[in-house]
Chains A and B, each alone.
Chain A
Amino acid sequence: MFLPHRLMCRDIFISGLRSMCAEEKIELISQLQIHPMYVFRWEEQEQAYLLLYPEGIVKLNNSAGHILKYCDGVRCVSEVIHELEREFDQQGLDKDVVKFMEVAHAKGWIRFKT
C-alpha cells in the first residue's frame, strides 16, 4: 500500500473542503444542513463540537458549534437565530449568525437543503 504525501505531511488542519455548492445568498428563510461529506458531532475528550471529513478534522469553537447544531435542514435561518437567542438569552444575534453561516457555506461545511 502506498500512503500519499498528503497523508504523511500535509497540514491536516486546513479547515474544510472548497465549497461544492452553487452561489446562493443565505436568506432568513434558507434551510441549511451539514454537508453530507462531514460528520458533525460533540467530542467529549475535546469538550467541543467537531467536523470530521475525509482525512481531516475541524474543532469548532463554542458559538460555531452551537450554530451548526441547529443547521439540520429543517429549521430555517430565522429559526436557528431564534433558538440561539433563546439558548444564550441574548438578542440581536442575526448578523453574527448569518455571517458565520456564510463562512461555513463558503468552506463547504453546510449547504442549502436539497
Chain B
Amino acid sequence: MPKAGSDLKLDGNGKPLWLVLELTYKCPLKCPWCSNPLGFEDYANELTTQEWKTVLRDARKIGSLQLGFSGGEPMVRSDLEELVDEADTLGYYTNLISSGVGLTKDRLKELKRVGLKQIQISLQHNDAAKNDAMVGVKSFEQKMQCIEDIKSIGFPVVMNVPVSRFNIDAVEDIIKLAEYHNVEFLEFANLQYYNWALLNRDELLPTIEQLQHAEAKVNEARARLGKNMTIYFVIPDYFDGRPKACMNGWGAIHLTIAPDGSALPCQEAQTITHLEFPNVKDRPLDWIWNESPTFNAYRGTSWMKEPCVGCDEKENDFGGCRCQAFALTGDATNTDPACSKSPHFDMITSAVENARVTGRPGMPLVMRTRGAVSNLMKKVCA
C-alpha cells in the first residue's frame, strides 16, 4: 500500500507534458513588459482552426497533458471555444491565460460548457487609473466584471499580477482587492526580463528594498488569510543569485507553439536569433520534439561550458535560462548571468544596483505597440 503521496512524482521521461499554444500575438493591451517578440506584428500567418486541432492531436500523441491557451490575448480568436472543446475531448487539462478583455459572460459560459478547467486573469493594480495607465488601455472595470463572472460561473479565480516598480508598493492593497473578490489564488509574478520587459528594464526593475518589503507584506497576508487564499510570490532570479531552472531544462517538458506554427522550447526562444525553429506546418511534431536540431541544441548537459560543466548544481538548474544567457551575453551556451558563478554576474548585479541609484525619473516607457521599435536600421545599415 502507498506511503506518502509526496514522492509520487511524474518526470517528463522525454515527453512535452506542458503545451502552450500562443494562438495569436494580437492583443488589445499595450503592456510594456509583454513577453511576445518585439516584432510581433510580423507574424501574419496565424494557424487556422484545423491546423491548431492537428497540433492538439499530435501533441497528445507524444504525451502532452497540461495545456495553456495563451497569446497575445487568446480571446481575440473566435474559435477559442472550439479549440478548448477539442482539447478537453482529447484529455488535456485546459488553462486559459487572459487579460480578461473580451472574456464576456457568454463566452465564459460556453468555455465552461466545453470543458475549460482554469482561467488565469491578469491585473496590474488595485487603482483603476494606474492599472489602465500601465497597460495603455482602459481595462480595469472589465477585469473586475470578468472576475465576478468567472466566480459566478464556477471557475476558481487565479489572479496574476506582473510585478514591477510601478506596482510593487501596492502589494498590500492588491491583496485586499483580491480578498474583496474572494480570489482563491493570487500570484505576484515578478517580471522576467525578456523582449519588451528587457527593453524597459531600467524603468521596470524594482529595488531590492521594495522587493523585501513586498515579500514581508505577502507573508503577513498569508498568516492572516490562512487557507482562504493561496498567494504565490516568486523571488525573481535577478535578486536571487541563483539561476532559475528555466523550463525544467531545454526541450525537457515544455513545448510552445507560436501563432504561425513555429515550435519553441519556451515562449522566449525566438530571441535566440541564430536558431531555426521548425514549423508544425512543415514537419511532424514528433520529429520536431524528438529529432530537430533546435530542440536538441541545449538538451541535457553536453552543450555546457565552464563554469556549468564542473558545477554540482547543473542537474538542478540546467545552467539557468538559454534565452537570458543569449540576450545578455550574446552566447546561449554561456552560464545564465543570473548565476553568481557566472563571469557575467555583474550584468545582473549592476542592473539591480542601478535600479536603486537612479530609477531614471522622467524616462518614458516603450509600450507594446506596432512600430514602436525597429531592427531595420541595424539590418540595413550593418
Contact surface of A with B, Cβ cutoff 8 Å: 1-13, 15-20, 37, 39, 41, 43, 45-46, 50, 52-61, 63-64, 67, 93, 96-97, 100, 103-104, 107, 109
Contact residues of B between 92 and 130, Cβ < 8 Å to A: 93, 95, 97, 99, 117-118, 120, 122
| Nearest 10 CB-CB pairings of A with B | A4-B189, A59-B10, A96-B1, A9-B244, A52-B93, A63-B2, A54-B118, A5-B234, A64-B2, A1-B71
Q: List 24 A-B contacts (CB under 8 A).
A: A1-B34, A1-B71, A2-B160, A2-B162, A2-B189, A2-B191, A3-B20, A3-B35, A5-B189, A5-B190, A5-B244, A6-B187, A8-B246, A8-B247, A9-B246, A12-B66, A15-B5, A17-B230, A50-B65, A58-B10, A61-B8, A63-B1, A64-B5, A100-B5
CB distance from A36 to the nearest CB of B (A): 9
B224 located at the interface, meaning its Cβ lies under 8 Å from any Cβ of chain A in the complex: no
CB distance from A57 to the nearest CB of B (A): 5
B227 located at the interface, meaning its Cβ lies under 8 Å from any Cβ of chain A in the complex: yes
**In the complex, which of the residues A2, A7, A50, A53 contacts B10, with contact meaning CB atoms closer than 8 Å?**
A50
CB distance from A78 to the nearest CB of B (A): 16
Contact residues of B between 1 and 57, Cβ < 8 Å to A: 1-2, 4-6, 8-11, 15, 17-18, 20, 22, 27, 31, 33-36
How far is it, in angstroms, between the C-alpha of A56 and the C-alpha of B66 when the chains are bound? 7
**Which residues on A sit within 8 Å (CB–CB) of B232?**
6
Contact surface of B with A, Cβ cutoff 8 Å: 1-2, 4-6, 8-11, 15, 17-18, 20, 22, 27, 31, 33-36, 63, 65-66, 68, 70-73, 91, 93, 95, 97, 99, 117-118, 120, 122, 156, 158, 160, 162, 185, 187, 189-192, 197, 227, 230, 232, 234, 236-237, 244-248, 253, 266-267, 321
**In the complex, which of the residues B11, B22, B34, B237 contacts A2, with contact meaning CB atoms closer than 8 Å?**
B34
A59–B27 CB distance below 8 A: no
A1–B162 CB distance below 8 A: no
**Which residues on B sit within 8 Å (CB–CB) of A41?**
91
The listed residue with most A CB atoms (<10 A of its CB), out of B93, B118, B156, B247, is B93
A54–B2 CB distance below 8 A: no
